[in-house]
Amino acid sequence: MSGLGDRDIGHRVVVRHRIPDGLTDVIGVLQSWTPEGLVVRHADSSLHEIRADQVTAAKTIPEMPLRPVDVEQLFLTTALGRPAVETAYVGEWLLRASAGWTGRANSLLPAGNPGMPVPEALKHAEAFYDERGLPPLALVRLGSPEEAELRACGWIDARPGQSDVLVMHATLDHVNGSPAYDVLVAERPDRAWYAAAFDGPVPEPAPTVLEGAPKAVFASITLDGKAVAVGRGSMTGHWLGVDAVRVDPSYRRRGLGTALLQALARWSGPLGGRRTYLEVLEENTPAVTTYRNLGYAPAYRYRYLTRRRP
């Protein structure tokens, strides 16, 4: 098959091939390739299986321009990609608790209709966290009506010294390069993965949070006999969420983080993945630069709010 190989899996391609009535072209993402044939996934998610002897020409084509993102949908998608240990609802507002490990897993997600006046809904949220001995936190999208409503009720920045969290997005076409390292993608993390992901003991809630998504995998790169870079991928609809990316300080600036993202993108493609997101502190300039170079663009920013103490 002229012009294509397994290195092109995950990239947009055009394939001209024979059909009973003549020739036709199919444009989409190359989902699989073997010497015997290939599979192209069209934008409508339909799969086109083409035998090698039917192909007359094939090549990669530029990725699609990055389309505007549905911010409200993505805001909810990020929560589904990394579920908390315990959840409850106030109307459509999501309450999350995980024994205090990570802000995302221990905060209110005010999205949708709480089913009651906002001050009353916030009292329910405060009671939920008070009962668990946790500080009341709310993860709010900056510039959203929910941020304005919570601030009007007296909620204030919970982490005033910390920069905003930047949620970035891209299409898989932008990320689907061939990794420069061998990346192991496993359905369950092993001890080596956790050892690379954390300094010291693993927080008790961490395995439940990290392994709790319906579709999640754990990527790692081993060099010099040890895991030196790890990351996690989760699928929610057509979205690939990437988090828990950590590279051993002694092995940074070698492209290991990029290789992890590329391997996770390749994993998600055959599962229907089309877009990807990740979260990063805006003050983490090296990471933000890496993600921008891979084609990620800002979708929105968020901060944590907490109730004002009397």
Write out the chain's pLDDT in tens, 310 residues: 568 988 888 788 999 999 999 999 999 888 889 999 999 877 666 789 999 999 999 998 887 777 889 999 999 999 999 999 999 999 999 999 999 999 999 999 999 999 999 999 999 999 999 999 999 999 999 999 999 999 999 999 999 999 999 999 998 878 877 789 999 999 999 999 999 999 999 999 999 999 999 999 999 999 999 999 999 999 999 999 999 999 999 999 999 999 999 999 989 988 888 899 999 999 999 999 999 988 899 999 999 999 987 6
Residue type, 129: Y
Closest alpha carbon to 150 in 282, 283, 280, 302: 302
The rounded distance, in Å, linking the Cα atoms of 260 and 264 is 6
- Angle between helical axes of 118-131 and 145-152 (0-180°, round to 10): 80
Percent of residues in the chain assigned helix, strand, coil, to nearest 5: 30, 35, 35
The C-alpha angle with vertex 218 and arms to 76 and 46, in degrees rounded to 5, equals 60
Q: What is the torsion angle, in degrees rounded to the nearest 10, for the CA atoms of residue 296, residue 96, residue 271 and residue 6? A: 40
What 3-state DSSP class applies to 68? coil
Burial class of residue 308, CB neighbours in 10 A (0-12, 13-18, 19+):
exposed
Contacts of residue 80, Cβ cutoff 8 Å, sequence gap at least 6: 213, 236
Q: Hunting for tokens 């209110």 — which residue is that? A: 108
